[in-house]
Structure 1
């Protein structure tokens, strides 16, 4: 994020001596993007942040993908990935299942009830959408309490873990970039402040609580990093001699934060507005949009349901998380569904939806969309939940609606 934050105890001048009450120096760590040329934060550790006492290979969850061939739209039922009581023994790191992916972004899903190991994604930022449930994301910067509808942005290499709470599963839709994830540039001034036309602003963002020092020794940290495995990834478990949550203070413009989808103010117009007005974040070669309950087009002859469109430059992934999605009625899609509409296929409303939507004044729908500018392949989670018939739904065949 571009706006400055400070948390805990820090010295008045950076890169100067900062000592604890006993006279011992704190260890200053610069966590920064693009070398020393972009946003960064300075963290002050009790212990040496580089120290490791051991390492072993971590066999990542299945990262293999296969092409979407033959090229068809897909309907993936993500709730089928975790059935019965399986979620109770699943965590958000080792239990995450890959649904879709390419060289720029991977989309995973998990329903969890176990505390995850400490985790650091060294390949890119993560944007994790909380479909349902509650929990805490404990990070080296401090904690974030999260719940239904929260986006959690975790900068690359942020050490953190997921701690579920409550009686039911914490359902997480994880968007993992091979780049950074940030608000769209068109929402920001040249200095990084949200502009007046932006659908959310700094007041809507939640930042971590004051960091705390955890006194534990020989702690494991799971690291996902670049390698030669499927998707160009590999995993390592580092054993660190002191717990990485030993920060007494930090300041800067790089940190995790949460933003709730209910705080997104939709942009509407007299005629149908295209998906870019619903954008919430962007990464390299992909964007994240959300469709929220809103008043719809108010031209007297408006057609509120989207027109048919051919995504010639992108694949479109829609995750349906609530409400009543007008354009997909009759397709079998429901809450927990993902639709994949690949570039090269003209898609749009189901038969009858356009006429049925005429005269509507508002839509009660909630969905998270990812548009990618390179084709998406199917991960094992996507292959396992493909309904196999969605492609024929516009022809009125094969659906279970």
Structure 2
């Protein structure tokens, strides 16, 4: 990666940025003639008539509008799946996957996407997909547009540089990034890189309500960072960055399929912009963890970073939840997560360290799925240790696990079931749980 980037801060803010002074119109959105010969274009993330507090849109002032692109043809990528219809029937077993190896052959972010499980329907705008990405080279003169959903990216190995229409983000393991539905971006890497992607077909991710926690806590809005305008192949007078010359290939996910088209210019030509539909990044080390200071293990909803609501209040289309370093101080309490059958479906990944309910077998870069009403909980080793542990204050350190929790049942893909990563002995971790009744 090159030098440090500048950012704006704040989640949900009305941001303003220009790479060239005077490029942004004042007092209007679409003047008859935009400064410097630019075009005005609006990107809408909600319907025009969405409530004002939830309305998402950004105005872009660019050298050429996005409509200047060639005809689309199918793009073959057999590992990327969408919606419940592209999943496989599977029994109600707990599932766990080993970390996927990063290919040795040159592979970029789009080529390296591997879907593990899916639900919902992108055309109906509900549900999600959980993907892995496995790549070892940048995208060069290729850009990706997901018209089906918003993307939440969780790096596990290797830092990423995301080049978006609104500017650039550097995202390292321990951080996350969100790219809005329909926004072009590309991913550059310095070496072998692996991570997770939540593709959200539903309502845009937002900060959860805090309720009795009060006005501060969990993920604070000011800790989300937004890029500043930067133009690829910049002309004199504009802040920008250089890239290899040539035409661009635009790969678009649309209706659950990938399509490709050519254009003779960069899509990263936005000289100025303003709005609240923006890509962003967040450092999970800044999460203000809330936990008990008396007894019991609270519900994991206290670790929610972002949520996509569904049409039923309190039942999320998808929640993004993290399990960061934290103090464990509960008295007379079994401190790991309890045994559970959940109406929600839980997809988990591990960025680094160990997860306290599964000290063995759940590896960084791996994943697990406990679907709705599938029993799960601490393995036999974790139960034995926690049942006999001293209850002195203990800091759980050097760990970062996360969960995509969704109200819809997740269907594993053929790759998930037959790709050589599935741990067929996963359920054995509970086999040694004995009957201690006296």
Query: What's the TM-score bracket when you normalise by the shorter of the two chains?
Result: 0.7 to 0.9
Give the structure 1 partner of residue 299 of structure 2: 274
Point out where structure 2 has 5 or more consecutive residues left out of the alignment.
1-10, 121-126, 235-244, 311-316, 434-438
Structure 2 Cα separation of the partners of residues 72 and 242 of structure 1: 49
Matches of 2:328 and 2:134 in 1, distance apart? 33
Report deviation, 1:49.
2.5
Residues 330-345 of structure 1 correspond to what in structure 2 (within 5 A)?
330=360, 332-345=361-374
Query: Higher mean Cα deviation, 39-48 or 151-160?
Result: 39-48
Instruction: Provide the aligned length of Structure 1 versus Structure 2.
Output: 373
Task: Tell me how far 1:256 sits from its aligned partner.
Answer: 0.2
Alignment of 1:1-400 (within 5 A): 1-8=11-18, 9-13=23-27, 14-21=29-36, 24=37, 26-36=38-48, 37=50, 38-62=55-79, 63=81, 64-69=86-91, 71-80=92-101, 82=102, 85-86=104-105, 89-103=106-120, 104-116=127-139, 117-165=142-190, 168-187=191-210, 196-214=215-233, 218-226=247-255, 233-269=256-292, 270-271=294-295, 272-283=297-308, 284=310, 285-299=317-331, 301-311=332-342, 313-330=343-360, 332-357=361-386, 358=389, 359=391, 361-364=394-397, 365-383=399-417, 384=419, 385-396=421-432
Contact 2:208 2:305 in 1 (8 A): no
Return the TM-score normalized by structure 1: 0.87
DSSP 3-state at the match of 1:347: coil
CA drift of 1:329 comes to 2.9
Q: Secondary structure at the match of 1:41?
A: strand
Is the contact between residue 144 and residue 209 of structure 1 (CA under 8 Å) also seen in structure 2? Answer: no
Evaluate the alpha carbon distance shift between residue 185 and residue 321 of structure 1 in structure 2; reply closer, same or farther with a 3 A threshold. Answer: closer
Match of 1:191 in 2: none
SS at match of 1:382: helix
- Paired residue secondary structure (2:188): strand
Let me know the Cα RMSD of the aligned residues. 2.2
Compared with structure 1, are the counterparts of its residues 294 and 126 closer, same or farther at alpha carbon in structure 2 (3 Å cutoff)?
A: same
Q: CA deviation at 1:205?
A: 1.2
| Structure 1 stretches of at least 4 aligned residues deviating more than 6 Å after TM superposition | none
For residues 338 and 53 of structure 1, what CA distance do their matches in structure 2 show?
39
- Unaligned 5+ segments in structure 1 are 189-193, 227-232
Residue 355 (structure 1) shift: 4.5
| Counterparts of 1:154 and 1:76, CA distance in 2 | 26
d(CA) in 2 for partners of 1:113 and 1:209?
26
Secondary structure at the counterpart of residue 34 of structure 1: coil
Q: Which residue of 2 aligns with 1:229?
A: none
Say if 1:213 and 1:248, in contact at 8 Å, map to a contact too: no
- Output the CA distance in 1 between the equivalents of 2:265 and 2:374: 53
SS of residue matched to 1:176: strand
- Residues 53 and 342 of structure 1: CA distance in aligned 2, closer, same or farther (over 3 Å): closer
> CA–CA distance in 1 between the matches of 2:152 and 2:14?
20
> What is the TM-score normalised by the length of structure 2?
0.80
Name the SS for the 2:263 alignment partner: strand
